[in-house]
A and B are shown apart, each in its own frame.
Chain A
Amino acid sequence: MEQMDQLNQWIRDYNDRLRYVAYTYVRDHNRVEDIVQEAMVQAYLSIRQLRDPERPYPWLVRIVINLCLNTNRKYRREQPTDLLPEQRGRSTEDIYLQQSRDKEVYAAIIGLDEKFRTPIILYYFEDLSVREIAYALKLSEGAIKTRLARGREQLKSALTRGESDDLGNTYSSSKANLYTR
């Protein structure tokens, strides 16, 4: 396949997925646009570094994450201003949350620290293997396994905490109702 055909195919196949991965890093719709476009340019220019043409996605994710980390470093000081457009209307984050079948778990995942959140997203949402995640994040497979395990632990405790908070709220409400009566 010609290089340009290949690029076109990747854009068709992976545009939405790469945008989602980028969004979890930068949380800004405009930057996501920029990052995915730049990632495709980089992929085109370095196409010969692609080891497994049958499975280019982990390589593309790696490029996207690199760009996200660079963008975050660059914009760190300006972040509050850049978040303003998202705050005016319904944020992209809200849309993703609404699209989730388990909003409670989704919110907990998004609340995780980046080092645990990304492996969880790549493994459970994006179906990447531990090896592929290690490649994408430039870490060892052992580190990814540890982060997945710790991410799951943190999710479990966040969800348990949420449940007991819910119970607490119900109890308080009931008590309040009693008093009102």
Chain B
Amino acid sequence: MTLETRIRQAKPTYIHADPERTAEAVMVRLQELPKTGRLQSVRRRVRTAGLITASAVVAGLCILGAGFVNPAMANALSKLPLVGSLFDQAGDTGLKSAAERGLTAKVNASQTHDGVTFKISEMMYDGTRMSMVLTRETNDGDNPSLKKWSDATTEETIAMWKKQGKEASMIEVRADGKKLNVSTALASDILHNNSSILTVQPNVAEMHTTSFDLPDAFNLEVVIRDATIGRYFTLSFPVKKTTSQSIVLASEETKSYNGLVMRIKKFEMTEATSQLEVNLSGKAEAELEELGVSLMYDIRNERGESADLMSGSGSAGAAPVTYVNTAEFTPFSSLPKTVTVKPYLLKGTEKEYIPELAFTLPVNK
């Protein structure tokens, strides 16, 4: 008998463990996960400012957390009635700037079921992201925090799965009646209000691009399932691109270092967002994925001023053995003459730049 046959025959009969028991335990673990940001219908691998979050458990749970609202501000907001624009008070630099320049649109969309009203009151769409102010009100005037609602919703979802074997879809977004493949997230730091900022971005992991592929004007439907009362809310309203400027820098140039090949597929600048999309290739799949997760990017203008990182993601590209990194930055205060993309790896708290992979893109006005 050959050695290979003997090895195959040596395979033991595996000890059987009750799958129901494992399933129950997995559900409990899912229930115990950190509650913030649970409303995301799609989870992405996310990097927030200054922090690589490679762990799958963390992935996607904090997309709007660190970069968007500082805790002191969030605390103050929780004690004050909401007056004026939430973008202005609690948005990231891009949203603040858009609100100050009047580049956001007032929206009057609401729906009420069983004494609960969901409202969208303000919107910013710049082609790279849709951000909107979402409010949940109750008829009794209690207006519990969105955090309470989102936590309850998660538990309800899990209870529903146990009963029906299905997960409820939480927030769905449709443009002109067509469901969009997007990731959705509520700014977690202000969830103790009954208003928060809902941000919608293309699902890069599935779409392999950061572009919405939408016209400048369309009808948006935001469908929300409130599992606490088991009702769906559909908020429908017309959307127009609210920013006036959209400059897209693209390059076919590739640079390589130690076998890793990099191309800046797109750097898009609006008054509210600067968005980078990088294609990686040239390495074996596992190594490429590891590099894709670890690589981060600094963005500088010709004066050496840098844009602040708000969020980022990494996912497999459309072509085999390719990887896509995306990163969203706060906009520069004025239109730059050049944009330099400086990739780096974090070694402890130190940035280790890779000059061989740095790109400088001219901005043609």
Q: Interface residues, chain A, CB within 8 Å of chain B?
A: 2-5, 7-8, 11-12, 15-17, 19-20, 33, 36-38, 40-46, 48-49, 51, 63, 92, 95-103, 105-106, 109, 120, 124-125, 134-135, 138-140, 152, 155-156, 159
Residue in B4, B13, B56, B315 with the greatest tally of chain A CB atoms within 10 Å: B56
With beta carbons under 8 angstroms apart, the residue of B8, B30, B42 that contacts A44 is B30
Known contacts A38-B29, A44-B26, A135-B286: A109-B7 contact under CB 8 Å: yes
B residues less than 8 Å from A33 (CB atoms): 17, 25
- Whether A42 lies near B22 (C-beta < 8 A) is no
- Whether A100 lies near B10 (C-beta < 8 A) is yes
B residues less than 8 Å from A8 (CB atoms): 23, 165
B residues less than 8 Å from A152 (CB atoms): 3-4, 7
Taking the nearest CB of chain B, how far is it from the CB of A43, in angstroms? Answer: 8
- What are 16 of the A-B contact pairs (CB < 8 Å)? A2-B165, A2-B166, A4-B161, A17-B14, A19-B17, A36-B22, A41-B26, A41-B30, A45-B59, A46-B56, A96-B12, A109-B10, A124-B11, A134-B286, A139-B286, A156-B3
Taking the nearest CB of chain B, how far is it from the CB of A45, in angstroms? Answer: 5
In the bound complex, CA of A48 to CA of B15 (Å): 30
In the bound complex, CA of A50 to CA of B33 (Å): 21
Taking the nearest CB of chain B, how far is it from the CB of A65, in angstroms? Answer: 12
- Whether B286 lies near A3 (C-beta < 8 A) is no
Classify chain B's interface size.
35 or more
In the bound complex, CA of A49 to CA of B55 (Å): 13
Q: Interface residues, chain B, CB within 8 Å of chain A?
A: 3-4, 6-17, 19, 22-23, 25-26, 29-30, 33, 42-45, 56-57, 59-60, 161, 165-167, 203, 205-206, 284-287, 290, 315-316
In the bound complex, CA of A99 to CA of B60 (Å): 42
Taking the nearest CB of chain B, how far is it from the CB of A68, in angstroms? Answer: 15
Residue in B6, B30, B203, B285 with the greatest tally of chain A CB atoms within 10 Å: B6
In the bound complex, CA of A91 to CA of B8 (Å): 23
- Whether B22 lies near A11 (C-beta < 8 A) is yes
B residues less than 8 Å from A42 (CB atoms): 56-57
Residue in A19, A42, A48 with the greatest tally of chain B CB atoms within 10 Å: A48
Residue in B7, B161, B166 with the greatest tally of chain A CB atoms within 10 Å: B7
- Whether A124 lies near B8 (C-beta < 8 A) is yes
- Whether A48 lies near B42 (C-beta < 8 A) is yes
- Whether B290 lies near A155 (C-beta < 8 A) is no
